[in-house]
Structure 1
Amino acid sequence: MSTTQEPSKTLVQRAPEVAGGVLRQLFEYAIDGVGGLPSAKAAAARTLQAKGDREAAVDSLVLQHVGFASAQGFITNLGGLATIAVALPANLAGAAIVQIRMLAAIAHLRGYDIDDRRVRTALALAMLGEDEVRKQVGLGKVPSTPLGIATAPMFDPLLDRQVSERVLGDLATKIGGKHLTVLIAKRIPLVGGGVGAVADGYLTYVLGAYARKEFVRRQR
């Protein structure tokens, strides 16, 4: 009996490790670049050069990434997604990469070191959205908002694992829970693509608005 239970027990024990690994991979693709998508720093620098003002660049980055997330073919054809397809469908992985890249580019423009592990934990937490973060802080599940975590005295590996689990759990609900209607609609020709584009684009816009408010300007 113990033999049959052991594999499932091992999977449960490894859940935080698996979640952390998948999220780290998403972050590497988003921040360092993947396929035809340049790095978050490159996107921030190019947009700043074009706009000549940091806040105008932030606004432009949000609109750019809303456009990326709304382009169904773009996010599902990003190179490298095959390596995480076992954990997340390509459309969700692609959308997550676009959203993380946007958050990272905004944070970079606002003076945060996006290679700092504290900042990466904060960016992951921001992926949950403002309402969910407020709920988690209120319940004592996380100690602070993304801003508080990004500026904490030191990196907390336990918190990083917990946040990774929550973010991957949130993405999982989009597969089998509250976004099921959208996922089904995506399979319907003509209608489905429009529904998915609106959903992904809107969520990206909401996350961008949250990042603009949360990651206040810092001196480098």
Structure 2
Amino acid sequence: METTSENEKSTKMLQVLDWAYEKSLNGIPGVSDPIEVFASSYTKGTGTMLQNVNSLIRWQISKTTTSGFLTGLGGLITLPVAIPADISTGIYVHMRMIAAIAFIGGYDIKDDKVKSLIYLCLVGESVKDILKDGGIAIGSKLALSSLKSVSGKTLTKINRMVGFRLITKFGEKGAVNLVKLVPVAGGIIGGTVNAIGTNAIGNLARKTFIENNDLKDESNGYTFYEDAEFTEAFDINLLKFNSYVNLIKVDGKIAEEELEVFEKELNQSLLSEELKLELISRLYSKENLVVDYSIFKNMINDSLELITNLIKLAKIDNEFHILEKMFIKNVGTQVGFSNEEIEELMTTINATD
């Protein structure tokens, strides 16, 4: 049973959740658009629903770890209760992402049951424990049908339990974890953990509102390839993207221009959506991805494409860092280029070629 103090904290967090939900749907003047506009910006292209949602998740990962969007929100929003702005801001950004995914999936985001589903996505793997404590069995998946016969009173109970779980996560003992999870005034920190956290929440929202979509039965756009020719091309492309990730990180900073090019190339690739999300997350890890470049030695076209793209990527922010040059030279020699050939390529290839 919750103590009086815990009950007060849970009530405050529920107020923050309701505030973040309202702001997600209606937007914040001068800061963010209404959810219909925000979500629609990811559905204007030719991609499938699943591809559009994964693009949304990838961009949210990028924004929450590299831009000043979150750090600037604290001075532009009015919070409902005395909860630190960094917590409320982090919840708002994740809530907005989940609500957009639900909207793209065709759900009525003003429906109370959908609202509770959106709240539940914020707690990640804890969702089953919350529903179990609320007397709801969801089986192997979280979906709207799980709450089909739930009363309004039970929905309120579930929402409060989400609030309490977040208080536990971000409370006094969770303050250290919070610092690793959301940006605070003074700069973006804990990029790796933040990316992983955003990715995990986005994945659960995708499973809930897209993959487990119980509004319709049609395919969600999955395509599986099993032929050997595709597998070989797939492996080469993955090695190339692993190398791009390592280059982007080599100078200790990630430029917005680099992210935009990387995102565009990912969208055009045939890598699985899970791998695309993983590659975005690995941009913010300290460890480099392992790449066996020996496979490129007898593949002239792929070797040239790899080096060309690495040079373009390094130059896209108008700063060809010495560490980027050293990285490209190292890769170039491993795939069979001479030092003279690499120097010539670095001199002649421009980012816009």
Band the TM-score falls in, shorter-chain normalisation: 0.7 to 0.9
TM-score for the superposition, normalised by structure 1: 0.76
Give me the whole-angstrom Cα distance separating, in 1, the residues matched to 2:179 and 2:21.
24
Instruction: State the 1:123 CA deviation.
Output: 0.8
Structure 2 gap segments, 5+ residues each: 218-353
1:64 aligns with 2:47: no
The corresponding residue for 1:27 is: 21
Instruction: State the 1:193 CA deviation.
Output: 3.6
The corresponding residue for 1:209 is: 203
Instruction: State the 1:51 CA deviation.
Output: 4.4
Instruction: State the 1:99 CA deviation.
Output: 0.8
1:41–1:105 CA contact under 8 A, matched in 2: yes
Which one scores higher on RCO, CA 8 angstroms, separation ≥ 6?
A: 1
The corresponding residue for 1:180 is: 176
Give me the whole-angstrom Cα distance separating, in 2, the residues matched to 1:22 and 1:114.
18
| Letter of the structure 2 residue corresponding to residue 143 of structure 1 | I
1:111–1:219 CA contact under 8 A, matched in 2: no
TM-score for the superposition, normalised by structure 2: 0.50
1:83 aligns with 2:76: no
1:134-153: CA deviations, max 9, x gaps?
2234x433514441467514
Alignment of 1:98-109 (within 5 A): 98-109=93-104
Compared with structure 1, are the counterparts of its residues 166 and 70 closer, same or farther at alpha carbon in structure 2 (3 Å cutoff)? farther
Compared with structure 1, are the counterparts of its residues 55 and 19 closer, same or farther at alpha carbon in structure 2 (3 Å cutoff)? same
Moved more, 180-189 or 205-214: 180-189
Give me the whole-angstrom Cα distance separating, in 2, the residues matched to 1:100 and 1:219.
24
Give me the whole-angstrom Cα distance separating, in 1, the residues matched to 2:205 and 2:178.
25
The corresponding residue for 2:89 is: 94
Give me the whole-angstrom Cα distance separating, in 2, the residues matched to 1:91 and 1:142.
32
| Letter of the structure 2 residue corresponding to residue 211 of structure 1 | A
The match for 2:152 among 129, 133, 157 is 157
CA RMSD of aligned residues (A): 3.4
Instruction: State the 1:53 CA deviation.
Output: 2.5
| Letter of the structure 2 residue corresponding to residue 76 of structure 1 | T
Larger radius of gyration: 2
1:93-126: CA deviations, max 9, x gaps?
1111111111111111112111111100111112
Compared with structure 1, are the counterparts of its residues 71 and 97 closer, same or farther at alpha carbon in structure 2 (3 Å cutoff)? farther
1:70–1:201 CA contact under 8 A, matched in 2: yes
1:118–1:150 CA contact under 8 A, matched in 2: no
Instruction: State the 1:30 CA deviation.
Output: 1.6
2:43–2:49 CA contact under 8 A, matched in 1: yes
Secondary structure of the structure 1 residue equivalent to 2:159: helix
The corresponding residue for 1:143 is: 136
The match for 2:112 among 113, 117, 125 is 117
Instruction: State the 1:184 CA deviation.
Output: 7.9
Give me the whole-angstrom Cα distance separating, in 2, the residues matched to 1:153 and 1:141.
13
Give me the whole-angstrom Cα distance separating, in 2, the residues matched to 1:168 and 1:124.
9
Compared with structure 1, are the counterparts of its residues 65 and 43 closer, same or farther at alpha carbon in structure 2 (3 Å cutoff)? same
Secondary structure of the structure 1 residue equivalent to 2:136: coil
Give me the whole-angstrom Cα distance separating, in 2, the residues matched to 1:188 and 1:13.
26
Instruction: State the 1:58 CA deviation.
Output: 0.5
1:32-71: CA deviations, max 9, x gaps?
2124222222222111003442111111111121123224
Q: 1 or 2, which has the higher helix percentage? A: 1
Structure 1 gap segments, 5+ residues each: 1-7
1:32–1:40 CA contact under 8 A, matched in 2: yes
Q: Percent identity?
A: 20
